[in-house]
Amino acid sequence: MKRLVFAAWAAFLGAVVTLTLIGGLGEAPDSERPDAAQASFIGTENCVACHTAVHAAYRDTYHPMKLGPATEIDQELLERWEDLPDPRGNPVVFDEDEPSGIDGLRDLELDDGTRLQAIAGVYLVHEGGRRFTARFLDADDSVEHERPVSPYHVGAKYRQALTVNLGEGAGSRLLKYQYSFDDGAYQHTWRDRNQARIYEENCIGCHVSGFDLDAFEADRNQPLEDLAADLGVGCESCHGPGSKHVTAPRDPDLIVNPARLSTDQQVHSCAQCHIRGASRVHAGRQDNIDFSPGDNILDHFEPVPVAWGEGTPRVAADGKAAASRQQFMDHYLGTKASMTCTDCHAMHEPDSHAALLRDDMLESCARCHGDSDYPDLATVREVMDGQRGWEDPAWRGWRLQHTFRLDDDRRVIGLPEERWPEHDNWPWADPDWQWDMPNR
> Which tens digit of pLDDT belongs to each residue from 165-218?
999 999 999 999 999 976 655 688 999 999 999 999 999 999 999 999 999 999
pLDDT band of residue 375 (cuts 50, 70, 90) is: confident
Give the pLDDT of residue 318: 98
**How many percent of the chain have pLDDT more than 70?**
89
Least confident of 142-146, 271-275, 359-363: 359-363
Give the pLDDT of residue 5: 36
* Cα 87 to Cα 26, 76, 91, 317, 396, distances in angstroms: 59, 18, 10, 41, 35
- Name the residue ranges covered by the structural domains of the chain: 67-210
Task: Please give the average per-residue pLDDT across 412-433, as a whole number.
Answer: 96
* Cα 307 to Cα 180, 222, 280, 297, distances in angstroms: 29, 41, 21, 21
> Which tens digit of pLDDT belongs to each residue from 20-60?
333 333 333 444 555 655 899 999 999 999 999 999 999 98
Task: Please give the average per-residue pLDDT across 338-352, as a whole number.
Answer: 88
Task: Please give the average per-residue pLDDT across 434-440, as a whole number.
Answer: 75
Please provide the distance, in angstroms rounded to a whole number, between the alpha carbons at the two ends of the chain.
24
Give the pLDDT of residue 25: 32
Q: Is 289 left (phi over 0), alpha (psi -120 to 50) or beta?
A: alpha
The amino acid that residue 389 corresponds to is G
Residue 324 to residue 399: CA distance in whole angstroms: 8
Residue 324 to residue 343: CA distance in whole angstroms: 21
Residue 377 to residue 355: CA distance in whole angstroms: 13
The amino acid that residue 301 corresponds to is F
Task: Please give the average per-residue pLDDT across 336-351, as a whole number.
Answer: 90
Give the pLDDT of residue 185: 59
CB proximity list for 158: less than 8 A, separation 6 or greater: 180, 181, 324
Give the pLDDT of residue 153: 97
Residue 111 to residue 372: CA distance in whole angstroms: 64
> Which tens digit of pLDDT belongs to each residue from 116-143?
999 999 999 999 999 999 999 999 999 9
Whether 356 shows a pLDDT value over 90: the answer reads no
Task: Please give the average per-residue pLDDT across 241-267, as a whole number.
Answer: 96
Give the pLDDT of residue 34: 54
**Tell me, what DSSP letter sits at residue 146?**
E
> Which tens digit of pLDDT belongs to each residue from 311-339?
999 999 999 999 999 999 999 999 999 99
Q: Is 119 left (phi over 0), alpha (psi -120 to 50) or beta?
A: beta
CB of 196 closer than 8 Å to CB of 94: yes
Q: Is the pLDDT higher at 159 or at 315?
A: 315
CB proximity list for 405: less than 8 A, separation 6 or greater: 333, 334, 335, 412, 413, 414, 415, 416
> Which tens digit of pLDDT belongs to each residue from 380-414?
888 899 999 999 999 999 989 999 999 999 999 99
Give the pLDDT of residue 419: 96
Task: Please give the average per-residue pLDDT across 294-305, as a whole number.
Answer: 96
Give the pLDDT of residue 365: 87
Give the pLDDT of residue 33: 53
